[in-house]
Structure formats: structure tokens, C-alpha cells
Amino acid sequence: MSFALVLSLLGGLALFLYGMQMMSSGLEAVAGNKMKRVLEKLTTNRLIGVGVGAGVTAVIQSSSATTVMVVGFVNSKMLTLKQAVWIIMGANIGTTVTGLLIALDVGLIAPLLAFLGVAVVVFVKRASLQHCGQILAGLGILFIGMEMMSSAMLPLRDSETFIRLMTSFSNPLLGILAGTLFTAVIQSSSAAVGILQALAMSELITLSNAVYVLFGMNIGTCITAVLASIGMSRNAKRTTIIHLMFNIIGTVIFTVICLVTPLTSFIETLVPDNAAMQIANIHTLFNVTTTLILLPFGGYLAALAVKILPEKESEKTEGFVLQYLKPIKSSAEYRMGNAAIATNGIVNEMTRMSDFVGKNVERSFDAVLSAETENVGFVTEDEEYIDFLNKEIAKYISKVLAYESNPDDCAAVTAYFKICGDLERIGDHAMNICDYGKLLKDKKISFSEKAKSEILNMKEVTIGALKLLGEFKGINGEKLEDIKNSEQKIDDMTREYRANQITRMRNGECSDEACVLYSEMLTDFERMGDHILNIGEQLAVVKG
């Protein structure tokens, strides 16, 4: 093979990979956020999960991207492990779309697609249309690269060394290993399958040998999710184990089928003159059949992943859960005496919520005082739990109010509904303060020692005011007066610290950016005091 042909092959490969990356980026920019929202709202229905996984992957053209997204959602507890199983199965089906597109003979119009796409990107200023142009250009460049690779590989048909190499893949283990390693290196099964199709189109590898390489490519694509799960929760790591198990089981099944049945010969007879389509058909058959076989056993896959990575004591519950409230489905379930059970459950869940809020307030002020980001992950995770509890307690309260007739109980439950909203808002302000700490580190901003002393006072006063709220079982007039005094103290401190800030600005003791952040923090500090007072006033309504 001449040096010119080697350069042509490398250039074709570069164009192919760049075209795929360009097309995927454009597709994700157009629909990526919508896809994420769809995944976030996914139900536990396995068929919907598979459909969503397939649809998302077909749109963004990357099973690896979908799986990485799912790993992130499982890590943040937006999805459970069982929900992740269905999406992963669907993602493996969705990834076959790329191979089917490549198998269609659109090489003649590829330059036109590339030209139209680049023209849109260069001359159209609207962002959404630019993304569409990026998709077109990527598709065109992908096919141009495919044509270059196929042409450059044609002379290899006369190379005995290369023919021996391709023939060696008739050994299933060698073929699977080669496909796994190659895909693990380039981290894209879609791109790897495309390159395998280019080899087949140049008659350099037969379908009977290519199938084993193809099966290995399905295993190799798992490396992206494995890398993404490093440093994440055990459930996130279990998600990657499920992805690996799916493809390994499918590989074992289809390797046996190919060894004992004339499957490859049958596929060849369906489209005898289109080697690329033969590989695309095998790829689709592999993923669809494996999904159908494993679909009834998704729960077992999740359980096996847990056995491989056993639970720790801190992981006895999966995802966000209500510990004290059982959903009320009908009025028949809400019988006499349930008011006490309901209000006690609400109080217990709100106490949990308040604990999360208190921890986040403390961590957030600490993040600002130390200008470190180590607390950001914990604060973000607990903030998501706070939002979950607020939403679920509110839903539960709406059911109670629909079935409860006692005026005092209705008043108490209504007060709890308002308290949940105020707790959630305090959590939001704590999250804001935590973000200021991240900005301090990222932008290398520092507060003066005087400002830090004031921030420490804010932290102590806020935590002290939160502790006055007690266990949410009602308060007397004296306790309410203490809460009012705390809120007034927060207002007084805010005014005093703003005046101090202006003095420091005049004396040149703080930077402009530090002044802006400090001013924002004072606003959050004051508003937390307002919400604490709101909670105190609502607790006064409750008859403890």
C-alpha cells in the first residue's frame, strides 16, 4: 500500500470521525435538552423506557452519550437503577440507526449535503438553523470520508498480509477482542461499525468474519460509560455494569448462533450486493434480539449488578424516597383517625427536609468562608432532595385536604403546605450562597477579614434562627416572639453590613467583584430570615 493511499485512508478516517462528531453535536444542540427532560420524566414502564432510550440515541446518534447521560441521572438519583436498565436496552437499539444510514447509498449527494450545511453555518446567523446546517454538513462530510476510506482500502485486496489478518477474525475470540479494543480506543461504536462497513464495501472482510468484530464493538462501546462513572455513586457504577452485561450476554448468544447456524449466509442472501447493509442488518438484529431476550429479566440484571457491587449501609434506599408518608390513592384509604397519622407523617418528613436545609445553610456559608468547592456536590445533591420532598409532601397534602373535614386539621395541614414552600426557598438561597463560594475560587476573588467575620456571624445567626423552629409541632406566643426577634436581628445585621461594605468600598478595601458577591449574599441572608419568620407564623396556627 503506497504512502499516498495511507494518507488518503487517514484523511478519510479523519473526515468520517469529524463528520460523525459534527453531526452528533448539531443533533444534541437541537434536541439534547429536550432529550434530557424526557429521560428525567421517565416512568418505570419498561417499554416506555426502551422506547425513550432508542429514540434519544437515534436522535443524538450515540449510545455512549445516552449511557453517560443515564449514568449521570442515576448518580444524581433522578433515575433508579431499574429505570436505567430499560434506557440502556433502548440505547443499544437506537445506535443501529447510524449503520443503517451509512448502508444507504447516498455517496453521490454527499458533497451537496456538505456544501448546503456549510453554507447555512457560514451565512445564516440564527443559532437553531446553524445547528441544522451542522447536522447536514456533518452527514455530508461523514459520507465523503467513507468514500475516501473505501477507495483507499481497495488495493489492500491484493495484500496477502492484510488478507491473512482479516481471515484471522474467523476465530471468534480474536474477532471479538479486536472489535472491543478498537472501539474502546475510539470510544464510538457507531464510528467503529462505519469503519467495519467500509472494510466490507472494499471486499476486505467477509460477513462471516466481520460479525465477531461487530459483536466486540458492542462491548467496546461500554468503555465511555465506565470512564464516566469514575468518582460517581455505586449505583452509577452499577449502571455501567448493566451496560456491559447486556452486550456480553448478547455477544455470547450471537457467537453461538453464528457458529451453529447459517445466520450470516441468510443475511447475505437478503442483500447480496450491499455489504454495508449486511453489517447494518446484523447489528440491528443483534441489539433488537438481545433486548427482546433480556427485557423480562431487567430487574434481575439490576439485582445482579447490586450483587456485583454490594450495597453499603448508607445505600439501603435507592433514589429519593418518602420515609413516613404512604400515598393516598382514594377516599376509601383515608378513614377516621388518619388525620393524626397524616399530620405526624408530614411533620416527620418536614423535619427531614429541615435537616437537609440546615446542613446546606451551614455548608454554603463554609464554602464562602473557605472559597472551596468541595461542598458544592453535597449541597447540590441535598438541594435536589429538598425539592423532591417539597413536591411530594405538597402532593400528599393536597390529597389530605381533599378528604379531611376537620377545620383544625385542615388549618394545620394548610400551614404545613406553606411551611414546605418556605423551607424550599431557604434551600434555594443556601444554594445561591454555595455558588458564590464556587465563584470566589474560580475567579480567585477574596473577601477582607472584616467581611469574613460578618459572614461567620450571618452563619451563626441563621442556624440559630432555624433551630428555634423546633420539630414543627406548633409553637406558643413566646417562641414566636423569639423567632420574630431573630428575624429583626437579621434585618438589622443586613443594614449594618451593607453600610460597612460601602465604607470598605470607599476605602478601597475590596474589589468590585467581591462587592457584588457580598451584596448578593446579604440579600440571600435577609430573605432566609423572612422565610424563617413565615414558618414561625404558620407554626403558631398549628395546635401542638
CATH assignment, 331-539 = 1.20.58.220
Query: Of all residues in the chain, what percent carry a pLDDT higher than 90?
Result: 25
**Mean pLDDT across the stretch 333-337?**
46
- 18 pLDDT band (50/70/90 cuts)? confident
Give the cell for residue 4.
Answer: 499516498
Give the pLDDT score at 36.
52
Cβ pair 393, 321 in contact under 8 A: no
**Mean pLDDT across the stretch 205-209?**
85
Per domain, the residue ranges of the chain are 10-308, 331-539
Asked if the model's pLDDT at residue 255 lies above 90, the reply is yes
**Mean pLDDT across the stretch 409-435?**
91
| Distance (Å) of CA 235 to CA 38, 244, 249, 311, 434 | 21, 14, 21, 9, 26
Strands (E), 20-73: none
State how far the Cα of 274 lies from the Cα of 271, in Å rounded to an integer. 6
Q: Which among 158, 151, 155, 163 is positioned nearest to 198, based on CA atoms? A: 151
**Mean pLDDT across the stretch 401-405?**
73
Give the pLDDT score at 365.
92
**Mean pLDDT across the stretch 223-236?**
75
Give the cell for residue 194.
Answer: 462505519
Give the pLDDT score at 337.
40
Asked if the model's pLDDT at residue 486 lies above 90, the reply is yes
Asked if the model's pLDDT at residue 68 lies above 60, the reply is yes
Q: Which among 419, 407, 542, 408 is positioned nearest to 475, based on CA atoms? A: 542
Asked if the model's pLDDT at residue 33 lies above 50, the reply is no
Give the pLDDT score at 35.
54
**Mean pLDDT across the stretch 129-139?**
84
Q: In which region does residue 61 sit, left (phi positive, over 0), alpha (psi from -120 to 50) or beta (all else)?
A: left
Asked if the model's pLDDT at residue 259 lies above 70, the reply is yes
Asked if the model's pLDDT at residue 231 lies above 70, the reply is no
Query: Of all residues in the chain, what percent carry a pLDDT higher than 70?
Result: 82
| Distance (Å) of CA 463 to CA 2, 204, 363 | 74, 71, 11
544 vs 117 pLDDT, higher one: 117
**Mean pLDDT across the stretch 54-77?**
70
Q: What does the pLDDT look like over 242-253, one tens digit per residue?
A: 989 999 999 999
pTM for the complete prediction?
A: 0.54
Q: What does the pLDDT look like over 346-383, one tens digit per residue?
A: 888 898 899 999 999 999 999 888 877 777 878 888 99
Give the pLDDT score at 335.
47
Asked if the model's pLDDT at residue 513 lies above 50, the reply is yes
Give the pLDDT score at 460.
94
211 vs 160 pLDDT, higher one: 211
Give the pLDDT score at 250.
92
435 vs 23 pLDDT, higher one: 435
